[in-house]
Amino acid sequence: MRLSTVGVGSVEAVYRDQPALALRGLTKRYDDGTVALEDFDLEIPAGAFFGLLGPNGAGKTTLISAVCNLLRITDGEIRVFGEPHGSLQARSWIGLAEQDINLDRFLTVRETLTYHGGYWGMRDPEVRADELIEAFGLGHKRDTRAPKLSGGQRRRLLLARALMHRPRLVILDEPTAGVDFELRQELWRYIRQLHAEGTTILLTTHYLEEAEALCDEIALIRDGHLIARDSAETLLRTERLEEVYVKAMSS
Protein backbone atom coordinates (compact mmCIF):
# COMPACT_ATOMS: atom_id res chain seq x y z
CA MET A 1 0.00 0.00 0.00
CA ARG A 2 1.21 3.51 -0.74
CA LEU A 3 1.84 5.52 2.38
CA SER A 4 1.32 8.74 0.44
CA THR A 5 -0.34 9.69 -2.80
CA VAL A 6 1.87 12.59 -3.75
CA GLY A 7 2.55 12.94 -7.43
CA VAL A 8 0.01 14.29 -9.83
CA GLY A 9 -2.57 17.01 -10.10
CA SER A 10 -2.76 20.68 -11.00
CA VAL A 11 -1.57 21.92 -7.61
CA GLU A 12 1.44 19.62 -7.88
CA ALA A 13 2.29 21.05 -11.26
CA VAL A 14 2.11 24.66 -10.07
CA TYR A 15 4.42 24.10 -7.08
CA ARG A 16 6.77 21.53 -8.61
CA ASP A 17 9.61 24.01 -9.13
CA GLN A 18 9.45 25.52 -5.67
CA PRO A 19 11.76 24.32 -2.89
CA ALA A 20 9.91 22.23 -0.35
CA LEU A 21 11.16 24.48 2.40
CA ALA A 22 12.86 27.87 2.25
CA LEU A 23 13.99 29.69 5.39
CA ARG A 24 15.32 33.25 5.05
CA GLY A 25 16.84 35.11 7.99
CA LEU A 26 14.91 33.01 10.48
CA THR A 27 15.46 34.22 14.03
CA LYS A 28 13.86 32.98 17.21
CA ARG A 29 14.51 34.72 20.50
CA TYR A 30 12.60 33.27 23.45
CA ASP A 31 11.04 35.46 26.12
CA ASP A 32 13.95 34.70 28.49
CA GLY A 33 16.39 36.13 25.93
CA THR A 34 17.73 32.80 24.66
CA VAL A 35 18.48 32.99 20.95
CA ALA A 36 17.67 29.56 19.51
CA LEU A 37 18.04 30.49 15.84
CA GLU A 38 19.76 33.52 14.39
CA ASP A 39 19.49 34.79 10.83
CA PHE A 40 19.12 31.20 9.67
CA ASP A 41 18.92 30.42 5.95
CA LEU A 42 18.10 27.00 4.55
CA GLU A 43 16.58 25.64 1.38
CA ILE A 44 15.43 22.07 0.96
CA PRO A 45 14.57 20.99 -2.58
CA ALA A 46 11.32 19.20 -3.31
CA GLY A 47 11.72 15.43 -3.13
CA ALA A 48 14.84 15.53 -0.94
CA PHE A 49 15.57 13.33 2.05
CA PHE A 50 17.18 15.95 4.23
CA GLY A 51 18.91 15.33 7.54
CA LEU A 52 19.40 17.97 10.19
CA LEU A 53 22.04 17.07 12.76
CA GLY A 54 23.21 18.84 15.84
CA PRO A 55 23.68 18.46 19.57
CA ASN A 56 20.95 19.07 22.14
CA GLY A 57 19.98 22.74 22.19
CA ALA A 58 21.34 23.37 18.70
CA GLY A 59 17.97 24.69 17.50
CA LYS A 60 16.66 21.69 15.54
CA THR A 61 13.33 21.39 17.32
CA THR A 62 12.92 25.17 17.36
CA LEU A 63 13.37 25.18 13.58
CA ILE A 64 10.80 22.44 13.13
CA SER A 65 8.34 24.11 15.49
CA ALA A 66 8.71 27.36 13.57
CA VAL A 67 7.97 25.65 10.26
CA CYS A 68 4.90 23.94 11.73
CA ASN A 69 3.46 27.12 13.29
CA LEU A 70 4.07 25.88 16.81
CA LEU A 71 6.07 28.89 17.89
CA ARG A 72 6.08 32.60 17.18
CA ILE A 73 9.12 33.52 15.13
CA THR A 74 11.01 36.70 15.99
CA ASP A 75 12.11 37.53 12.47
CA GLY A 76 12.53 36.04 9.03
CA GLU A 77 10.47 34.22 6.49
CA ILE A 78 9.44 30.61 6.01
CA ARG A 79 7.97 29.29 2.78
CA VAL A 80 6.66 25.82 2.11
CA PHE A 81 6.55 25.00 -1.60
CA GLY A 82 6.53 28.77 -2.16
CA GLU A 83 3.65 29.51 0.20
CA PRO A 84 4.00 31.43 3.50
CA HIS A 85 4.20 28.82 6.24
CA GLY A 86 1.24 30.26 8.14
CA SER A 87 -1.14 29.95 5.20
CA LEU A 88 -3.75 27.21 5.30
CA GLN A 89 -2.33 25.84 2.06
CA ALA A 90 1.20 25.48 3.45
CA ARG A 91 -0.09 23.94 6.67
CA SER A 92 -2.03 21.35 4.71
CA TRP A 93 1.20 20.21 3.02
CA ILE A 94 3.16 19.53 6.20
CA GLY A 95 3.05 16.37 8.27
CA LEU A 96 4.83 16.39 11.62
CA ALA A 97 5.88 13.57 13.93
CA GLU A 98 7.22 15.24 17.05
CA GLN A 99 10.01 13.95 19.21
CA ASP A 100 7.80 13.60 22.30
CA ILE A 101 4.77 11.36 22.20
CA ASN A 102 1.89 13.82 22.09
CA LEU A 103 -1.17 11.68 21.49
CA ASP A 104 -4.65 12.66 22.64
CA ARG A 105 -5.30 10.54 25.74
CA PHE A 106 -9.06 10.45 25.17
CA LEU A 107 -8.91 9.03 21.65
CA THR A 108 -8.46 5.49 20.38
CA VAL A 109 -5.96 4.64 17.64
CA ARG A 110 -8.66 4.93 14.96
CA GLU A 111 -10.08 8.13 16.41
CA THR A 112 -6.59 9.66 16.64
CA LEU A 113 -6.14 9.22 12.91
CA THR A 114 -9.72 10.05 11.93
CA TYR A 115 -9.86 13.28 13.93
CA HIS A 116 -6.47 14.34 12.63
CA GLY A 117 -7.78 13.82 9.09
CA GLY A 118 -10.85 15.85 10.02
CA TYR A 119 -8.74 18.73 11.31
CA TRP A 120 -6.95 18.68 7.95
CA GLY A 121 -10.26 18.88 6.09
CA MET A 122 -10.19 15.34 4.66
CA ARG A 123 -13.36 13.80 3.34
CA ASP A 124 -14.00 10.28 4.64
CA PRO A 125 -10.90 10.17 6.85
CA GLU A 126 -12.07 6.80 8.21
CA VAL A 127 -11.03 5.05 4.99
CA ARG A 128 -7.51 6.46 5.09
CA ALA A 129 -7.30 5.78 8.84
CA ASP A 130 -8.11 2.10 8.28
CA GLU A 131 -5.46 1.91 5.54
CA LEU A 132 -2.79 3.32 7.81
CA ILE A 133 -3.84 1.18 10.77
CA GLU A 134 -3.21 -1.89 8.63
CA ALA A 135 0.01 -0.50 7.09
CA PHE A 136 1.46 0.22 10.53
CA GLY A 137 0.35 -3.07 12.07
CA LEU A 138 -2.03 -1.48 14.57
CA GLY A 139 -5.13 -3.45 13.52
CA HIS A 140 -5.50 -5.27 16.83
CA LYS A 141 -5.24 -1.96 18.71
CA ARG A 142 -7.59 0.17 16.63
CA ASP A 143 -10.04 0.67 19.53
CA THR A 144 -7.37 1.11 22.21
CA ARG A 145 -6.73 4.52 23.70
CA ALA A 146 -3.25 5.99 23.27
CA PRO A 147 -2.15 5.75 26.94
CA LYS A 148 -2.70 1.96 26.81
CA LEU A 149 -0.40 1.42 23.83
CA SER A 150 3.18 0.24 24.16
CA GLY A 151 6.01 2.66 23.41
CA GLY A 152 6.59 1.17 19.97
CA GLN A 153 2.89 1.26 19.09
CA ARG A 154 2.69 4.92 20.11
CA ARG A 155 5.70 5.71 17.96
CA ARG A 156 4.05 3.99 14.98
CA LEU A 157 0.78 5.81 15.61
CA LEU A 158 2.64 9.12 15.77
CA LEU A 159 4.16 8.45 12.35
CA ALA A 160 0.82 7.25 10.94
CA ARG A 161 -0.84 10.45 12.18
CA ALA A 162 1.82 12.55 10.47
CA LEU A 163 1.07 10.76 7.18
CA MET A 164 -2.70 10.72 7.58
CA HIS A 165 -3.46 13.75 5.38
CA ARG A 166 -0.95 12.77 2.70
CA PRO A 167 1.53 15.61 3.33
CA ARG A 168 4.07 16.67 0.70
CA LEU A 169 6.65 17.57 3.33
CA VAL A 170 7.04 15.18 6.25
CA ILE A 171 9.01 16.42 9.23
CA LEU A 172 10.33 13.78 11.60
CA ASP A 173 11.84 15.01 14.82
CA GLU A 174 13.96 12.22 16.30
CA PRO A 175 11.48 9.57 15.10
CA THR A 176 13.49 6.65 16.43
CA ALA A 177 14.62 8.13 19.74
CA GLY A 178 14.44 5.50 22.45
CA VAL A 179 13.12 2.68 20.25
CA ASP A 180 14.63 -0.77 19.95
CA PHE A 181 16.60 -2.03 16.96
CA GLU A 182 13.71 -3.92 15.36
CA LEU A 183 11.28 -1.03 15.52
CA ARG A 184 13.95 1.34 14.24
CA GLN A 185 14.44 -0.88 11.20
CA GLU A 186 10.67 -1.01 10.71
CA LEU A 187 10.32 2.78 10.94
CA TRP A 188 13.21 3.21 8.51
CA ARG A 189 11.35 0.97 6.08
CA TYR A 190 8.22 3.12 6.29
CA ILE A 191 10.21 6.32 5.88
CA ARG A 192 12.17 5.01 2.90
CA GLN A 193 8.97 3.90 1.22
CA LEU A 194 7.46 7.31 1.79
CA HIS A 195 10.46 9.03 0.24
CA ALA A 196 10.43 6.63 -2.70
CA GLU A 197 6.84 7.71 -3.36
CA GLY A 198 8.00 11.32 -3.83
CA THR A 199 7.50 12.85 -0.40
CA THR A 200 10.06 15.37 0.82
CA ILE A 201 11.43 14.40 4.20
CA LEU A 202 13.14 16.52 6.82
CA LEU A 203 14.66 14.35 9.51
CA THR A 204 16.37 15.37 12.71
CA THR A 205 18.26 12.71 14.55
CA HIS A 206 20.95 12.12 17.12
CA TYR A 207 21.85 8.84 15.47
CA LEU A 208 24.55 9.55 12.91
CA GLU A 209 24.16 6.11 11.36
CA GLU A 210 20.50 6.93 10.80
CA ALA A 211 21.41 10.05 8.84
CA GLU A 212 24.04 8.09 6.92
CA ALA A 213 21.60 5.35 6.07
CA LEU A 214 18.62 7.49 5.08
CA CYS A 215 19.52 11.02 4.02
CA ASP A 216 20.75 12.24 0.68
CA GLU A 217 21.56 15.71 2.05
CA ILE A 218 22.73 16.64 5.51
CA ALA A 219 23.07 19.92 7.38
CA LEU A 220 24.90 20.40 10.65
CA ILE A 221 23.51 22.96 13.04
CA ARG A 222 24.97 24.35 16.25
CA ASP A 223 23.92 27.23 18.52
CA GLY A 224 21.22 28.28 16.08
CA HIS A 225 23.56 28.56 13.10
CA LEU A 226 24.09 26.38 10.07
CA ILE A 227 27.72 25.26 10.15
CA ALA A 228 27.89 22.76 7.30
CA ARG A 229 25.68 21.46 4.56
CA ASP A 230 26.35 19.09 1.71
CA SER A 231 25.16 15.95 0.05
CA ALA A 232 25.63 12.90 2.22
CA GLU A 233 27.80 11.45 -0.53
CA THR A 234 30.23 14.41 -0.45
CA LEU A 235 30.33 14.55 3.33
CA LEU A 236 31.08 10.87 3.50
CA ARG A 237 33.50 10.67 0.57
CA THR A 238 36.62 10.92 2.66
CA GLU A 239 35.56 10.16 6.17
CA ARG A 240 32.69 8.83 8.20
CA LEU A 241 29.93 11.19 9.22
CA GLU A 242 30.92 10.75 12.84
CA GLU A 243 34.31 12.31 12.10
CA VAL A 244 32.79 15.12 10.03
CA TYR A 245 30.33 15.80 12.84
CA VAL A 246 32.98 15.91 15.56
CA LYS A 247 35.20 18.22 13.51
CA ALA A 248 32.34 20.57 12.68
CA MET A 249 31.07 20.74 16.24
CA SER A 250 34.50 21.37 17.72
CA SER A 251 35.56 23.98 15.16
Partner 1 sequence: MTPLVWLCKRETLRVSKLWTQTVLAPVVSSMLFILVFGLSLGDRIKQVGAVDYDVFIVPGLITMAMAQAAFANNASTIFQARFDRYVNDVLSAPMKSWQMTLGYTVGGVVRALAIGVSLLVLAVVLVGEPVRHPFELAAAIALGLVLFGSLGLVVGIYAETWDHTSFIQNIVILPLTFVGGVFYSVDVLPSPWEELSHFNPVFYLVNAVRYGFLGESDVSIWLSLGVIAALAVPVYAWSQWLFTSGRRLKS
Which residues of the chain form contacts with partner 1 (CB under 8 A)?
A: 30-31, 65, 68-72, 88-89, 91-92, 94, 96, 98, 100, 102-107, 111, 115-116, 118-121, 161
Closest residue by Cα to residue 162 from 211, 128, 186, 209: 128
Output 116 or 155, the one with its CB closest to partner 1.
Answer: 116
Min dist CB 243 to partner 1, Å, is: 35
Task: Provide the CA 59 distance to its chain's centre, in angstroms.
Answer: 15
Min dist CB 247 to partner 1, Å, is: 32
Helix (H, G, I), strand (E, B) or coil at 203: strand
Output 11 or 106, the one with its CB closest to partner 1.
Answer: 106
Min dist CB 248 to partner 1, Å, is: 27
Closest residue by Cα to residue 161 from 221, 117, 205: 117
Beta bridge partners of 80: 21, 83
CB atoms within 10 A of CB 86: 11
Let me know how many helices (H) and strands (E) the chain has, helices first.
Answer: 10, 10
Output 148 or 237, the one with its CB closest to partner 1.
Answer: 148
Q: Please state, in angstroms and as integers, the Cα–Cα distance from residue 223 to each residue in 61, 62, 171, following that order.
A: 12, 11, 21
Helix (H, G, I), strand (E, B) or coil at 150: coil
Output 106 or 247, the one with its CB closest to partner 1.
Answer: 106
Output 106 or 189, the one with its CB closest to partner 1.
Answer: 106
Min dist CB 78 to partner 1, Å, is: 13
Min dist CB 100 to partner 1, Å, is: 6
* Sign of the alpha-carbon dihedral angle for 232, 69, 94, 97: positive
The amino acid sitting at 25 is G
Min dist CB 76 to partner 1, Å, is: 16
Return the DSSP state at 141: G
Output 103 or 227, the one with its CB closest to partner 1.
Answer: 103
